[in-house]
């Protein structure tokens, strides 16, 4: 038996203790995690700096370095996210939809954990805590496999999770960290001990995991997010939203990648928003109509409309109307996040109804498609497939249900 098989089996054996733990005990573990994050911030930053130094030496992109970086504020936000999970209802064990059948039996559904979840992720060390806290509250064991670029940060954070479990007399192996890239393929073969794989990272990673896994995979290939500026839009509002969606944190999956502008407002809006975005370092690549309004804009290629830049680059297209905007999203979108800026209620309603993405915004930044912002406390990932979940995955999305039947000597006739 390989080391990976042994660790997966250990996680499987640890999971029933989580399933039997009370809400109070699980919340006590999360309280320990939040406390240890604050107490260990100096040592966590030392470990993170080792990863940042290595990333600089390796010449990794600015977007990757940003996802990799921890600072005191980010650790405080991660700790706050754990505390928000504590405040959420425990999804495990409740019985719903209880009804009496003609046979006399009473049938209900009990919410239960999925079991053992494998997280394979790149760059973001905060995933260790987000995934760990959500899995532990939902009574799932978790196997973590991060990228080598965050190895020191990931080890420090995974150790923190195990220490919190041990402090509340729950098994340390309910959290397992794999550190070698060579272990991924073996992990993806562990269908007997692992119930679900959630890859979180670039499109290449997710496609690799999907193509090589014997275990069900939650998919999220990329986030090509769109913002449509309607002809009725408040243009000052539209400007604030576009700037925030593109520049607040460009290296994440809910950042804006394509700006669609109704031709009726393009002459007024496009030069103004171009000036604001360029002042923040954004490179714009536009269609022919866009370049007629801003002649020095780079020309957009067909590939640009498909691209998740994760950088300060933005595709821009002027469209005839909302129908053409929606056709563009249908053609090039990734079912992640789309937004409309409009003062027309009927058009907003139609946009929401026609767009099939996991999150649709009206007069709001695409950056709000995030578990913590949507009231989930944190998220373990954003699914753009419709099975087993769609959109940000929080506590409820890490559970399933089983039928529970109550009888009084009933037999089937």
pLDDT of residue 359: 95
Q: Where in the chain is the domain with CATH 3.40.605.10?
A: 3-220
Strands 391-392, 382-383: pairing is antiparallel
Look at strands 106-113 and 95-100 and give their pairing: antiparallel
- 225-368 classified as CATH 3.40.309.10: yes
pLDDT digits 0-9 by tens, 45-59 = 999 999 999 999 999
Does the domain formed by 3-220 have CATH 3.40.605.10?
yes
Task: State the span(s) of the chain assigned CATH 3.40.309.10.
Answer: 225-368
Q: What is the pTM of this model?
A: 0.85
Residue % of the chain over a pLDDT of 70:
100
**What is the pLDDT tens value at each position of the chain, 413 positions in all?**
679 999 999 999 999 999 999 999 999 999 999 999 999 999 999 999 999 999 999 998 887 888 899 999 999 999 998 999 999 999 999 899 999 999 999 999 999 999 999 999 988 899 999 999 999 999 999 999 999 999 999 999 999 999 999 999 999 999 999 999 999 999 999 999 999 999 988 788 889 999 999 999 998 778 999 999 999 999 999 999 999 999 999 988 899 999 999 999 999 999 999 999 999 999 999 999 999 999 999 999 999 999 999 899 999 999 999 999 999 999 999 999 999 999 999 999 999 999 999 999 999 999 999 988 988 877 788 888 877 788 888 899 999 999 999 999 999 98
pLDDT confidence of residue 62:
81
**Interval 337-379: pLDDT, tens:** 999 999 999 999 999 999 999 999 999 999 999 988 988 877 7
């Amino acid at each position: 038996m390989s080391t990976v098989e042994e660790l997966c089996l250990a996680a499987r054996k640890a999971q029933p203790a989580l399933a039997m733990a009370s809400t109070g005990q699980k919340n006590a573990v999360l309280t320990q995690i939040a406390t240890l994050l604050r107490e260990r911030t100096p040592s966590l930053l030392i470990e993170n700096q080792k990863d940042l130094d290595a990333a600089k030496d390796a010449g990794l992109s600015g977007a990757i370095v940003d996802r990799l970086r921890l600072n005191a504020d980010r650790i405080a936000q991660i700790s706050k996210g754990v505390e928000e999970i504590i405040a959420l209802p425990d999804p495990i064990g409740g019985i719903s939809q209880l009804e009496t059948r003609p046979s006399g039996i009473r049938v209900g559904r009990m919410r239960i954990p999925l079991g053992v979840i494998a997280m394979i992720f790149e760059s973001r060390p905060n995933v260790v805590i987000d995934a760990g806290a959500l899995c532990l509250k939902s009574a799932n064991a978790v196997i973590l496999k991060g990228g080598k670029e965050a190895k020191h940060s990931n080890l420090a954070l995974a150790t923190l999770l195990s220490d919190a479990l041990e402090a509340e007399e729950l098994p340390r192996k309910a959290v397992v960290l794999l550190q070698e890239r060579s272990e991924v393929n073996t992990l993806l073969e562990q269908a007997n001990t692992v119930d679900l794989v959630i890859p979180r990272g670039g499109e290449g990673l997710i496609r690799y995991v999907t193509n090589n896994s014997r275990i069900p995979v939650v998919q999220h290939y990329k986030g090509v997010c769109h913002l449509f500026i309607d002809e009725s839009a408040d243009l000052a509002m539209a400007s604030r939203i576009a700037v925030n969606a593109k520049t607040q944190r460009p290296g994440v999956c809910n950042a804006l990648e394509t700006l669609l502008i109704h031709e009726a407002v393009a002459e007024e809006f496009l030069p103004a928003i171009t000036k604001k975005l360029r002042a923040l370092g954004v490179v714009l690549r536009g269609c022919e109509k866009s370049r007629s309004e801003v002649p020095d804009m780079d020309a957009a290629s067909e590939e640009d409309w498909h691209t998740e830049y994760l950088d300060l680059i933005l595709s821009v297209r002027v469209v005839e109307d909302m129908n053409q905007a929606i056709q563009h999203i249908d053609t090039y979108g990734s079912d992640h996040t789309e937004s409309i800026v409009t003062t027309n209620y009927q058009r907003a309603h139609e946009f929401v109804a026609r767009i099939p993405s996991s999150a649709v915004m009206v007069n709001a930044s695409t950056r709000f498609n995030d578990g913590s912002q949507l009231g989930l406390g944190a998220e373990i990932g954003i699914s753009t497939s419709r099975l087993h979940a769609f959109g940000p995955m929080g506590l409820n999305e890490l559970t399933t249900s089983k039928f529970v039947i109550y009888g009084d000597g009933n037999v089937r006739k």
